[in-house]
Structure 1
Amino acid sequence: MGYSAIAFIIVIGILVFIHEFGHFIAARMCGVGVEVFSLGFGPKILKKRFGRTQYCLAVIPLGGYVKMLGEEPGTDIAQEDLKSSFSHKSLLQKIIIVAAGPFFNFLLAIFIFYIMYQFSGIYLVKPVVGKVREGTPAITAGIKQGDVIKEINQKKIDSFEDISRIVSASHGEQLEMIVERDKRLIGLVLSPVLRPAKNVFGEEIDKYVIGITGTRESFHRSLNPFFALGHSLKDTYKLVKLTILSVVKMISGKVSASNLGGPLMIAQMAGEQAKAGVMNFAWFIALLSVNLGIINLFPIPVLDGGHLLFFGIEAVTGKAVSEKLREKLIQVGAAMLVALMVFVFYNDIVRMFYGG
């Protein structure tokens, strides 16, 4: 548990620092004074003041905050400090400052993936046929074990991933393939068919297939900085999409809410990924960073998304949300977050003691 606790503190520390640093740097760039930059909540373990800002390390590592001058509506501000007050900045500047936290979480994921791709490149499965299933288009067309698929519809095939992508997007239309067998090129024609399969959420779906599997034999490909950035952006986008879909399916009941995990689950997984190696640990941090960015964009008062909602209403109506209504909504949002925390802690305890 000690190893998991250390890994957990490292993960949460990085994620919280990056998120709050996003708010901090955006505030400073917009000319807003920052009074407190805190990692953690509760009693302060360490604190040091540089200029106007007090930098703190607090005892509870489950978050952090940036306290800006004039952040709370109705705060009394000295005349000479008005130009540095958050409440006296333009609506666009306020939106930039609030959105910068989640944005930096997405940037962290992109950066981690970029470094991983630059150092390790990518590993792809060779486009070699391992098995051909009976009663499928592949066996009817004459594809055999050991065939190397070179082209599909005049598109060069570099990896088995290329085959899967083209077949899945074929809509069952006829495919012209060129395969290499015994150093000879052979032309084949076949049409993918729909077969039942399961997606990443375990749901039953129909998927176009031709009835082959790969050999699992892989090869390494280095990436230049441009392609590494492209893969990083694509991977981050996939995580964002997957996370949003997960939330939507959880709300609709298609995915069980028991899959939600809290600090105990994160600590356990952090320890496991750290033991598996630096690459696994870095990927885990990127995954959680994307999750944190999306969660903070939920339109729930208290979260960044709630503040952005208030600003959106102000942009549309031309009037700021009244302090009284804002306070009530923030209380509701806080109650929702407390209920969510209780629920994920319950899930963690059930998993820990009952294996649920």
Structure 2
Amino acid sequence: MGIIVSLLVLSFLIFFHELGHFLAARFFGVKVERFSIGFGPIIAKKYFKGTEWAISAIPLGGYVKMKGQDDLDPTKRSSDPNSYNSKKPWQRIVILFAGPFANFFLAFLLYYIISIMGSNTLAPVVGEVMKNSPAQKAGLMPKDKIVKINNTPITKWEDISKAISKYQGALRVEIIRNNQIKIVIIEPKILEVKNIFGEKVKRKMIGISPSGDVIKVYYSPIEAIKVAYDKTVAASLMIIKGIEKMIEGVVPLKEVGGVISIMDITAKASQVGIAALFSLTALISVNLGVLNLLPIPALDGGHIVFNLYELITKKVPSEDIIYKLTLLGWMILLMLMGLGIYNDINRIFGVSNG
């Protein structure tokens, strides 16, 4: 069942991405010759309003084939009024950006739904108090519930770190202990910790860890807009930062995952619950949006760069250069896909990459 859910999620994300391209293309009067979910041989198709809607044999992607655009042969052009090539560079950029934008928008919608339906998160209840930490010196104890730091209300555990970094100097921490409200004054310390990329960073901390208690947080329809927007932006920045750290060599290449990892994690999330599945789907959607905007020929970002060049210089890039760069782009993509699958297989069979 989990594998079926994974395939449905991937197909849905691909469909939504390509739908963005399709709607933008039709808005500017570009003929869409084929809308395919999957690559390779077509196993089912139907013509509707001038477009061939198809399902292809390899469900690991999808594409919209517009008149005058061919990723396999980027030198093919058409000067017909309803072709992609006949449109102005800025219009082509909008068409190209519409796919990734659809992924960001889908992530926003999913985060919005999660915010309204409620999602599990860690309660602001102290679990462990580090020895000789500012929290211990101030008298904070396990099972204390933090409800306010200075003027900031605390409703979930992640609010605590945000409040600590927000204020300078000593903190006035309001807690509930044995059903009684108490006030403690804590002077945070700058401590060296590891971030999600394994780098040592300095962070202002008070020396506590969560108890593990879980609460469900709900937001009103209006509040959920900001929450969904913030989560979409945060997910995008995290993925961009991850790519940057991989280029720098901070994140080893063995951490690159492929479609097998995505399907495995999605299958597990579907067993946890609908909120976990929606949250993971939103993260994958953001990931697709960001990756497709990378300036790699054969991806949307690469095509956007070509069109920006034409927009700025008023010159069409050399067909020979476009062709060679596109081939290079496909080689890079195939190498990354191969690396992801190789790492996935190693993880499945417990093989170490060193």
Provide the TM-score with structure 1 as the length reference: 0.89
1:258 to 247, 254, 261: 254
* TM alignment of 1:139-288, pairs within 5 A: 139-170=136-167, 173-181=169-177, 185-288=181-284
1:311 to 303, 307, 310: 307
Return the alpha-carbon distance in structure 2 between the equivalents of residues 250 and 304 of structure 1.
21
Q: Do the aligned partners of 2:112 and 2:228 also contact (CA within 8 Å) in 1?
A: yes
1:149-200 Cα deviation digits (max 9, x unpaired): 44333333334432221213446x2223344556665544331002232212
Which residue matches 2:321?
A: 325
Return the alpha-carbon distance in structure 2 between the equivalents of residues 124 and 284 of structure 1.
15
Deviation at 1:284, TM superposition (A): 2.0
Structure 1 residue 14 corresponds to structure 2 residue 12: yes
Deviation at 1:51, TM superposition (A): 2.5
Q: Do the aligned partners of 1:167 and 1:208 also contact (CA within 8 Å) in 2?
A: yes
- What 5-or-longer segments of structure 2 have no aligned partner? none
Return the alpha-carbon distance in structure 1 between the equivalents of residues 203 and 331 of structure 2.
42
Which residue matches 1:75?
A: 77
Which residue matches 2:297?
A: 301
Return the alpha-carbon distance in structure 2 between the equivalents of residues 176 and 66 of structure 1.
57
Aligned-partner residue type, residue 327 of structure 2: Q
Return the alpha-carbon distance in structure 1 between the equivalents of residues 154 and 108 of structure 2.
27
- What 5-or-longer segments of structure 1 have no aligned partner? none
Which residue matches 1:66?
A: 64
Q: Do the aligned partners of 1:132 and 1:212 also contact (CA within 8 Å) in 2?
A: yes
Q: Do the aligned partners of 2:89 and 2:308 also contact (CA within 8 Å) in 1?
A: no
Return the alpha-carbon distance in structure 2 between the equivalents of residues 142 and 83 of structure 1.
75
1:98-142 Cα deviation digits (max 9, x unpaired): 0001111111111111122222x2445444444433312223233
SS at match of 2:18: helix
1:70-121 Cα deviation digits (max 9, x unpaired): 22555345xxxx33221111222111100001111111111111122222x2
SS at match of 1:94: helix
SS at match of 1:83: coil
Aligned-partner residue type, residue 113 of structure 1: Y
Return the alpha-carbon distance in structure 1 between the equivalents of residues 287 and 310 of structure 2.
27
Q: In structure 2, do the counterparts of structure 1 residues 342 and 163 end up closer, same or farther at CA, with 3 Å as the change threshold?
A: closer
Aligned-partner residue type, residue 37 of structure 1: F
Which residue matches 2:47?
A: 49
Return the alpha-carbon distance in structure 2 between the equivalents of residues 281 and 181 of structure 1.
36
Return the alpha-carbon distance in structure 2 between the equivalents of residues 225 and 15 of structure 1.
24
Q: Do the aligned partners of 2:78 and 2:85 also contact (CA within 8 Å) in 1?
A: no
- Worse-matched range after superposition: 43-52 or 214-223: 214-223
Return the alpha-carbon distance in structure 2 between the equivalents of residues 161 and 290 of structure 1.
22
1:96 to 87, 94, 97: 94
Structure 1 residue 30 corresponds to structure 2 residue 20: no
1:84 to 73, 82, 85: 82
Q: How many residues align?
A: 348
Deviation at 1:40, TM superposition (A): 1.2
- Worse-matched range after superposition: 201-210 or 22-31: 201-210
- What's the % identity of the aligned pairs? 38
Aligned-partner residue type, residue 268 of structure 2: E
Q: Do the aligned partners of 1:137 and 1:192 also contact (CA within 8 Å) in 2?
A: yes
Q: In structure 2, do the counterparts of structure 1 residues 4 and 223 end up closer, same or farther at CA, with 3 Å as the change threshold?
A: closer
SS at match of 2:239: helix
Q: In structure 2, do the counterparts of structure 1 residues 215 and 335 end up closer, same or farther at CA, with 3 Å as the change threshold?
A: closer
Aligned-partner residue type, residue 325 of structure 2: L
Which residue matches 1:289?
A: 285
Which residue matches 1:134?
A: 131
Deviation at 1:319, TM superposition (A): 1.1
Return the alpha-carbon distance in structure 2 between the equivalents of residues 105 and 71 of structure 1.
22
SS at match of 1:302: coil
